[in-house]
């Protein structure tokens, strides 16, 4: 076989593999959407669930998913940002930073069910937070923190060192250079990372089953006092999310239309995550364009 034919075979093989991957993805998405989208309706998206009867919705679960996501992001983003800035902009290479980096690596490869069980023992039991949104948010923070830290660190790495030198040579302090030059320049890429990790958090189930709980008490959407138990904002109430809901219906759902609800929920979840991904690309590109070109 001469090198030209070899080249053709190699390219053909790579196309084949890539095509196969795309095909699997499309088949999966297609299956979920085709079986799920017909179940979707305004009622389905907003109504509370029913335990034994037909016609329940996922309104509460959908709200819980977003609320948990926002809380988890509020907790994890500042910590991840601080950690990433420290690690990339300030830390020297020594045993301490090597240890921190290794810890982050290990934390990021921890199975999420282990994170969930740790969250159960520590937040739910030890700290008496119970099955609550707060416990779930903390567990998600543990799950999210290493991924987000690494993604922000990577964003900082994309900003060239000549920018740092430029800032310092202008008589800015290290912190001014980081906060006023490097961070604004890194915003588009940081934002993309945040939204992508939001997608992962949104779809997370295992870490939440034992922390945020598996029940979704009906909420009174007219009551926004976070101290009332039926208020949507109450962080101490148990809160089943969409992903947990899917798992639960499929393992022990006893409503007659369990199959349909599961398909519909899956479609909502997949659509939401797709939206996150598209939003990340769109916003990242747009912000970058606005910051860099005329």
Partner 1 sequence: MKEEILTTQDLHLYYGDKEALKGINLNFDEKGITALIGPSGCGKSTYLRTLNRMNDLIPNVTITGTIKFKGSDLYAPNADTVQIRKEIGMVFQQPNPFPFSIYDNVIYGLRIAGEKDKEKLDAVVEKSLRQAAVWDEVKDHLHESALALSGGQQQRVCIARVLAVSPEIILLDEPTSALDPVSSSQIEATLLNLRHDYTIIIVTHNLQQASRIADRTAFFMNGELIEVDQTKNIFMNPANKQTEDYISGRFG
Q: Hey, how many other C-beta atoms are within 10 angstroms of the C-beta on 210?
A: 23
| Helical spans, DSSP H, in 170-257 | 174-176, 183-202, 206-209, 242-252
Q: Which residues contact 224 (CB under 8 A, 6 or more apart)?
A: 231, 232, 233
> According to the 3-state scheme, what is the secondary structure of 142-189?
HHHHHHHHHHHHHHHHCCCHHHHHHHHHCCCCHHHHHHHHHHHHHHHH
Q: Which of 72, 52, 111 is nearest to 254 (CA)?
A: 52
Q: Which of 114-122, 131-139, 166-174, 220-228 is the region at the interface with partner 1 (rule: CB under 8 A)? A: 166-174
Q: Please pick, from the candidates 168, 236, 255, 279, the single residue that binds partner 1 as defined by CB under 8 A.
A: 168
Nearest approach, Cβ of 185 to partner 1 (angstroms)?
Answer: 5
Q: How far is the CB of 187 from partner 1 (least distance, A)?
A: 10
| Least gap, CB of 88 to partner 1 (angstroms) | 14
Among 40, 172, 233, 258, binds partner 1 (CB under 8 A): 172
Query: Rounded to whole angstroms, what are the CA distances from 240 to 82, 128, 150, 170?
Result: 30, 18, 29, 52
Least distance to partner 1 from the beta carbon of 156, Å?
Answer: 14
Q: Does 7 bind partner 1 (CB under 8 A)?
A: no
* 293 binds partner 1, rule: CB under 8 A: yes
- Is residue 30 a contact point for partner 1 (CB under 8 A)? no
The 3-state DSSP class for residue 83 equals helix
* Interface pick for partner 1 out of 184, 274, 275, 285 (rule CB under 8 A): 184
# of chain residues touching partner 1 (CB under 8 A) = 23
Toward partner 1, which CB reaches closer, 148 or 159? 159
Closest contact distance (angstroms) between CB of 142 and partner 1 is 33
Contact 73, 277 (CB under 8 A): no
Binding to partner 1 (CB under 8 A): which residues in 50-109? 92
Contact assessment for residue 85 and residue 182, using Cβ atoms and an 8 Å cutoff? no
182/269 with CB nearer partner 1: 182
Nearer to partner 1, 170 or 274 (CB): 170
Specify the residue, 139 or 185, whose C-beta has the smaller distance to partner 1.
Answer: 185
Q: Encoding tokens for residue 267?
A: 């479609």
Q: Please report whether residue 157 would count as binding partner 1 according to CB under 8 A.
A: no
Q: For binding to partner 1 (CB under 8 A), which residues are involved? A: 92, 160, 162-173, 176, 180-181, 184-185, 291-294
């Amino acid at each position: 076989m001469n090198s030209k034919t070899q080249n053709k075979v190699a390219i053909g093989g790579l196309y084949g593999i890539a095509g196969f991957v795309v095909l699997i993805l499309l088949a999966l998405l297609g299956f979920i959407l085709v079986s799920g989208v017909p179940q979707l309706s305004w009622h389905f998206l907003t109504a509370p669930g029913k335990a034994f009867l037909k016609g329940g919705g996922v309104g509460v679960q959908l709200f819980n998913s977003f609320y948990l996501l926002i809380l988890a992001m509020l907790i994890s983003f500042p910590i991840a940002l601080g950690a990433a800035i420290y690690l990339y902009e300030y830390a020297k290479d020594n045993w301490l930073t090597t240890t921190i980096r290794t810890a982050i690596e290990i934390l990021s490869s921890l199975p999420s069910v282990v994170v969930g069980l740790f969250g159960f023992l520590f937040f739910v039991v030890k700290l008496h937070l119970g099955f609550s949104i707060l416990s779930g948010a903390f567990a998600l923070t543990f799950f999210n923190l290493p991924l987000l830290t690494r993604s922000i660190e990577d964003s900082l790495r994309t900003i060239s060192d000549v920018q740092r030198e430029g800032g310092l040579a202008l008589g800015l302090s290290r912190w001014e250079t980081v906060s006023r030059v490097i961070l604004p320049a890194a915003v588009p890429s940081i934002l993309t990372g945040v939204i992508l990790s939001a997608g992962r958090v949104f779809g997370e189930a295992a870490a939440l089953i034992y922390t945020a709980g598996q029940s979704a008490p009906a909420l009174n959407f007219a009551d926004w006092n976070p101290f009332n138990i039926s208020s949507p904002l109450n962080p101490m109430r148990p809160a089943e999310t969409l992903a947990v809901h899917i798992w639960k219906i499929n393992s022990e759902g006893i409503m007659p239309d369990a199959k349909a609800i599961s398909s519909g929920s899956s479609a909502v979840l997949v659509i939401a995550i797709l939206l996150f991904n598209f939003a990340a690309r769109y916003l990242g590109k747009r912000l970058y364009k606005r910051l860099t070109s005329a």
